[in-house]
Amino acid sequence: MSDIIYTKVDEAPELASASFLPIIQKFAAAAGVSVGTKDISLAGRILATFPEHLKEDQRRTDDLAELGQLVKSADANVIKLPNISASVPQLVGAIKELQSQGFALPDYPEAPATDAEKEIRAKYDGIKGSAVNPVLREGNSDRRAAKAVKSFAQKNPHRMGEWKADSKTHVSAMSGGDFFSNEVSTTLAKEATAKIVLETANGETVLKDGLTYPAGTVVDATFMSAAALKDFLASEIEKTKAEGTLFSLHMKATMMKVSDPIIFGHAVRAFLAPVFDKHGDAMAALGVNPNSGLGDLLTRVKDNAAIMADIDACMASRPLMYMVDSDKGITNLHVSSDVIIDASMPALIRAGGKGWGPDNKEHDANCVIPDNSYAPVYDESIKFFKENGKLNPATAGTVQNVGLMAQKAEEYGSHPTTFEIAEAGTVKMILSDGTVLSEMKVEAGDIWRSASARKAPIEDWVNLAIARQKAEGCRAIFWLDAARAHDAELIAYVKPILEAKGVADKFEIMAPREATRASLETITKGQNTIAITGNVLRDYLTDLFPILELATSAKMLSIVKLMNGGGLFETGAGGSAPKHVQQLVEENHLRWDSLGEFCALGESLTFLADAKGNEKARVLGQAVDAATQGILDHDRSPSRKVGEPDNRASHYWFARYWAEALATQNSDADLGAHFAPIAAALAASEAVILSELAAVQGPAADLGGYFHTDAAKTTAVMRPSATLNSIIG
């Protein structure tokens, strides 16, 4: 096993790796450090899942499973880049691309009928959504802006949209019948096994059996009423029309792979309700599934003039819709994975509450977030900025995050204990001793889910928070709502630990709405705070605050201290990655910023030095920090515009600053001597290298695929400087 594992992923981060990874491997080798790769990309996971359908030379090892074992050991040192959490349209797109490349994969069964189809569907469903993160995250999250990154953002503040007190932008969420209002939660006193059953007038159906929970596990159960959701969506569509704002739905249909695509489908059906009422049977015969989005629906019905005419009439009577791409007519409801709440809501808030309409103009918006669990975070943010005006990045403090996520700490509608109820009845969670843990009456179409968080990760999370607060000395808030069942169980863990450690006075416990306002007030004063949150809020807040503070969450430093002693270093968010790929393909310009990778690399090398006693690795890590500072100080990050320096140019500068730092350091003479000629060559060849990198921009780039690119073509696109390649190797 290599000393450091650098993950092979998808889209823009993986394209950037084609340029950056050879540099890392070249420099690391001088310190005796090997850097290998493991493929956790969507295409790689698909191929690893169906070896029996592939030729011998097409088969892939299950790298995700191997990494899942590695992260449980003290030897783990993994740099994890953002990967696709696939929605069904993305999964189907990847399958079709692989099939076109000669991989004899089975189709994704939309409606499996036979046992074989059900087995194939189950395998594919295991790849959907957040399939990677729960496997790798054997530790809790410590995420923050590196000091150099925060300092640069303050000295070079990004543009913020103006907030006005009379803005019509607001958040709408269900007032009942949702996951939040129906939740119950229990902490198990002893180890238990459980099953989930649906009891109906026609008998009992086992939804899930063989669930095992260690003692001390917090187990939740809840459901969303389909009838209440339908009424809510219909009401919000009418309200949006009356108030003259954009209708915008904000979901997490990629990570919450079971619940949110269903909710998304309800929104599609609600927006086109008259069309479904009139043409429902004909549309079903054409294979229309509203969960797949408006884009798929339009493709299937485009040749039916009557349906298309009624869709046009319906759309004309509805409110204007928030657009993903107004130039191409891609709406908020086209594809569930196009609008992801943790990226879309911060972007809208940063823009002064404005979203793009179909007229290619900015408008106020009704931000529809059906479940009320975390909608208050965004609602309170909008209210705060209406009252106080936009945040000033030049003076704002920072919100760090300590997030509970270890060992599949759930709270998502993505796990295999989430179900769309087929028939009215009662869902029960029953322990092996006969104890009924929860019991809920449900109707057909309701979405029922259970989630859990184990004792050891919870305790580790609290102790990590204590350590971070001690290190930072700033305000620290547990974002927990005592009135919510799940949070109340966590509070019962948190308070005794804080008291036993003698630090209860250093922490506050607030519901998410109150914590949002307190945190915004704190950073507005130029002070810092730590948000200590569960898994969903970890996901949401580590986009919300970085986008407000830094303009992007891709530059965040994310350290996962694995519970068995290893290290996982994550490199930021990939929500904007698809747009970056589109620009590269069209203009051969990649605007992806690898600053997150730079920060993770430095931490990984330092961790390796501490774990293995490799002082050369420490020197390398210190030089990485110097190179990162050089990128920021000299504004060498990628430009957004074609014809200007992009990701590849930033990698040249990083390599140069890294080599120069190593050549001039005094800690290791051998490393200094090794890198002196490399630094000199990179400096002497500056004009030639930058010219070679710039020369390729403008014309379209051929990657040989999207989900599964051609390696040779990708290398040619991402390493176009022969001069730089000759120096790096």
User: Residue 254: its pLDDT value, please?
Assistant: 76
User: Residue 22: its pLDDT value, please?
Assistant: 98
CA pair distance 314, 278, nearest whole angstrom: 12
The answer to whether the CB of 666 falls within 8 A of the CB of 701 is: no
CA 653 to chain centre: 28
Q: 576: pLDDT confidence band, cut at 50, 70 and 90?
A: low
The answer to whether the CB of 550 falls within 8 A of the CB of 393 is: yes
410 pLDDT higher than 70:
no
By the 10 Å C-beta count (0-12 exposed, 13-18 middle, 19+ buried), 92 is classed as middle
Per-residue model confidence as pLDDT tens digits over 483-510:
999 999 999 999 999 999 999 999 999 9
Those residues whose C-beta lies under 8 Å from the C-beta of residue 389, and which sit 6 or more positions away, are 162, 163
- Average pLDDT over the chain, rounded to whole? 94
Q: What is the mean pLDDT of residues 137-164?
A: 91
Q: 574: pLDDT confidence band, cut at 50, 70 and 90?
A: low
190 pLDDT higher than 90:
yes
Q: 581: pLDDT confidence band, cut at 50, 70 and 90?
A: very high
287 pLDDT higher than 90:
yes
CA Rg value for the chain: 26
Q: What is the mean pLDDT of residues 242-247?
A: 98
CA pair distance 443, 308, nearest whole angstrom: 32
Q: What is the mean pLDDT of residues 413-432?
A: 90
Q: 106: pLDDT confidence band, cut at 50, 70 and 90?
A: very high
The helix or strand, by DSSP H or E, that contains position 437, with its residue range, turns out to be strand 436-442
Give the range among 464-473, 553-562, 658-667 with minimum mean pLDDT.
Answer: 553-562
Q: Give the count of beta carbons closer than 10 Å to the beta carbon of residue 711.
A: 11
| More confident: 511 or 343 | 511
The answer to whether the CB of 214 falls within 8 A of the CB of 454 is: yes
- Is 143 in a helix, a strand, or coil? strand
CA pair distance 287, 301, nearest whole angstrom: 9
Give the range among 128-132, 374-378, 418-422, 593-597 with minimum mean pLDDT.
Answer: 128-132
DSSP label of 361 = S
Q: What is the mean pLDDT of residues 36-43?
A: 96
Q: 416: pLDDT confidence band, cut at 50, 70 and 90?
A: confident
Beta strand ranges found along 120-239 (DSSP E): 139-145, 170-172, 184-187, 192-200, 203-213, 218-224
User: Residue 575: its pLDDT value, please?
Assistant: 55
Proportion of the chain above pLDDT 70, given as a percent: 98
Q: 132: pLDDT confidence band, cut at 50, 70 and 90?
A: confident
The answer to whether the CB of 221 falls within 8 A of the CB of 195 is: no
Burial 632-650 (b: 16+ CB within 10 A, else e): beeebbbeeeeeebbbbbb
Q: 573: pLDDT confidence band, cut at 50, 70 and 90?
A: low
CA pair distance 180, 485, nearest whole angstrom: 9
CA 242 to chain centre: 34
Q: Give the count of beta carbons closer than 10 Å to the beta carbon of residue 681.
A: 17
User: Residue 257: its pLDDT value, please?
Assistant: 80
Domain range annotation of the chain = 4-138+564-728, 225-374
- Is 194 in a helix, a strand, or coil? strand
User: Residue 285: its pLDDT value, please?
Assistant: 95
| More confident: 333 or 571 | 333
User: Residue 690: its pLDDT value, please?
Assistant: 98
Q: Residue 64 has which token pair?
A: 């995700």
User: Residue 414: its pLDDT value, please?
Assistant: 59
136 pLDDT higher than 90:
no
Reported as half-sphere exposure (CB side, CA atoms, 13 A), residue 373 has a value of 21
Q: 577: pLDDT confidence band, cut at 50, 70 and 90?
A: low
User: Residue 89: its pLDDT value, please?
Assistant: 86
- Is 225 in a helix, a strand, or coil? coil
Per-residue model confidence as pLDDT tens digits over 353-397:
999 999 999 999 999 999 999 999 999 999 999 999 999 999 999
By the 10 Å C-beta count (0-12 exposed, 13-18 middle, 19+ buried), 41 is classed as buried
pTM reported for the whole predicted model: 0.86
Q: What is the mean pLDDT of residues 419-435?
A: 96
Q: Give the count of beta carbons closer than 10 Å to the beta carbon of residue 284.
A: 11
How close are the terminal C-alpha atoms of the chain, in Å?
A: 23
User: Residue 710: its pLDDT value, please?
Assistant: 97
CA pair distance 268, 292, nearest whole angstrom: 9
Q: What is the mean pLDDT of residues 188-217?
A: 96
